[in-house]
Structure 1
Amino acid sequence: MENSKRRFLKGTCALLAGASGATLLATVSASNEAKADPSVKYALIHDETKCIGCKACEVACRETNHVPEGVARLKIEQTGPYGEYPNQFYHFSRKSCQHCEDAPCVNVCPTGAAFIDKETGIVSVDAWKCVGCQYCIAACPYKIRFINPVTHAADKCDFCRETNLAQGKQPACVAACPTKALVFGNLKDPTSQVVQVLKANPTQRAKVDLGTRPKLFRIVAKSGEVAI
């Protein structure tokens, strides 16, 4: 069944590659529709001043979303130690999907497998449509996509869209964080915690000069704020 699906979709891609101008215009139209302003706009804040590098978020993500060993939707990267012993400290940063409003991965996908959910603004993947061409992996400026060795489709963080979020829960990483270093919510709700934290703290986003408009924010740790 899996092989039949991929043969069908690959054949479709071949047809698309030789499409007429009218088909290309239809593709552009569909892309513009995908960029329509969602009714909800989810975002995530990683507060590096609170992160202790315990990686509980990584474990929760893997278990909740059945992520196979050898690949990961989320990584906490540690750098350091900095400073002189015994006053040394480490820095922890999050590497995961940025959920761009103008997502290069979506723009290059030939089958529509990569898409932006109109209701939430979440960048997601339809594994059934994915043919494993890896265009999205090449196009992502944040280098966070991978091919799932079980589904053989592109994979990444989707804010637990099909698991916890679908059940009205917080993303697994947010729920598991013992220091509340992760804040998730709707940017369009002025009363949401994510909006209140953004208003109260200076934040950074990665590679904003590319015009991708990422929705993963960082509260950057200052030297010595996180010590072990």
Structure 2
Amino acid sequence: MTDMTQDTHAPRNPSIARDLFLLLTKENGYTGGSRPSAVTAGTLTDLVLAGRIALSDDKDPRVTILDGSPTGDPVLDHVLSGVAGRSERKEPTLSGLIKHRSLDPSEAIGDDLVAAGVLERKNGLLGTSWPTVDGRAEQSLRAHLAAVLEGREQPIPQDAAILGILRSVDAVRPTLKDDVPDMSKKDLNRRIEEIAQATPISDALKKSFDTMQSAIMMGWIVPVIIAT
């Protein structure tokens, strides 16, 4: 998790799910419909990076638990236990997990960021909101992603995952337009593809990232189409 006590120029220790939560939550604490799928996918990606789960080669990959012991991270543990609960009879599909609301780790992420002094929790008639208390962590994240997109900093695997997930839910331009105002949606998508190709990760991990993003689109776009 990003160290929230440091200034905006401090080195980042990224958590994909927490970073996505910050990016997709407005200053007033509310968000659009893409956040649950995005942060669930982000947590699953964190679990892949941690060696806790693996994805099969199926078009809609099956998710296998490699290590189901507690991680000590409440966000990872929430999703890992949810995967375990759906693996008793048959390994669950990735798209099925992403769209399963009970796996949404937003509450755990929000509470964690409240404890870190970054957000506050407000319960109201419209549900829970998470207004910003200390914006330095998000400012640091946005500055870093802008520098990566503009080629001023080298991307790390987590950057490629964050940007790929944002693209999968069609949220790159709405989320980052003020940070990279000179880049169009087309420019951003092209640059994100370049980053995905250039980031130094193993072929197996790159395949996991690619299948994760495809599964997000399956798990997020289909319910939207049905609802409309």
Please give the TM-score of this superposition, normalised by the length of structure 1. Answer: 0.26
Q: Which structure has the bigger radius of gyration?
A: 1
Higher relative contact order (CA 8 A, sep 6+): 1
More strand by share: 1
More helix by share: 2
Please give the TM-score of this superposition, normalised by the length of structure 2. Answer: 0.26
